[in-house]
Amino acid sequence: MNPFETYLWKISDIQRGAPETSYYGPTGNLINQIRHQAFPCFQISSNSVESG
Protein backbone atom coordinates (compact mmCIF):
# COMPACT_ATOMS: atom_id res chain seq x y z
CA MET A 1 0.00 0.00 0.00
CA ASN A 2 1.34 3.47 -0.82
CA PRO A 3 1.42 6.22 1.86
CA PHE A 4 -1.75 7.92 0.62
CA GLU A 5 -3.74 4.67 0.62
CA THR A 6 -2.54 3.99 4.17
CA TYR A 7 -3.61 7.51 5.19
CA LEU A 8 -7.10 7.06 3.71
CA TRP A 9 -7.46 3.66 5.39
CA LYS A 10 -6.56 5.09 8.82
CA ILE A 11 -8.78 8.15 8.35
CA SER A 12 -11.72 5.92 7.45
CA ASP A 13 -11.29 4.11 10.79
CA ILE A 14 -11.84 7.34 12.74
CA GLN A 15 -15.46 7.72 13.83
CA ARG A 16 -17.57 10.71 12.86
CA GLY A 17 -17.64 13.25 15.66
CA ALA A 18 -14.17 12.30 16.91
CA PRO A 19 -11.97 15.16 18.09
CA GLU A 20 -9.82 16.92 15.50
CA THR A 21 -6.70 15.60 17.21
CA SER A 22 -7.67 12.08 16.08
CA TYR A 23 -6.46 13.02 12.61
CA TYR A 24 -3.06 14.32 13.76
CA GLY A 25 -1.37 10.91 13.90
CA PRO A 26 -2.34 9.68 10.41
CA THR A 27 -1.70 13.12 8.88
CA GLY A 28 1.72 13.39 10.54
CA ASN A 29 2.64 9.91 9.34
CA LEU A 30 1.64 10.78 5.77
CA ILE A 31 3.69 13.98 5.82
CA ASN A 32 6.68 12.15 7.31
CA GLN A 33 6.56 9.49 4.59
CA ILE A 34 6.36 12.13 1.85
CA ARG A 35 9.12 14.24 3.37
CA HIS A 36 11.33 11.20 3.89
CA GLN A 37 11.28 10.68 0.13
CA ALA A 38 12.21 14.33 -0.55
CA PHE A 39 14.22 15.33 2.54
CA PRO A 40 15.33 12.28 4.56
CA CYS A 41 16.76 14.34 7.46
CA PHE A 42 13.40 15.98 8.53
CA GLN A 43 10.65 14.44 10.65
CA ILE A 44 7.41 15.85 12.07
CA SER A 45 6.32 15.13 15.62
CA SER A 46 2.58 14.87 16.23
CA ASN A 47 2.89 15.60 19.96
CA SER A 48 1.49 18.90 21.08
CA VAL A 49 2.62 20.78 24.15
CA GLU A 50 0.33 23.06 26.12
CA SER A 51 1.97 26.23 27.33
CA GLY A 52 0.68 28.57 29.95
R_g over Cα of the chain: 13
CA distance 6 to 28: 12
CA distance 46 to 5: 20
Rounded to 10°, the helix 3-13/24-38 angle is: 180
Give the pLDDT confidence of 26-48 residue by residue, as tens digits: 999 998 888 887 776 666 666 66
pTM confidence score? 0.63
3-class DSSP string for 29-51: HHHHHHHHHHCCCCCCCCCCCCC
Query: Residue 7 pLDDT more than 60?
Result: yes
Query: Residue 12 pLDDT more than 60?
Result: yes
| Number of residues in the chain | 52
Average pLDDT, the chain: 81
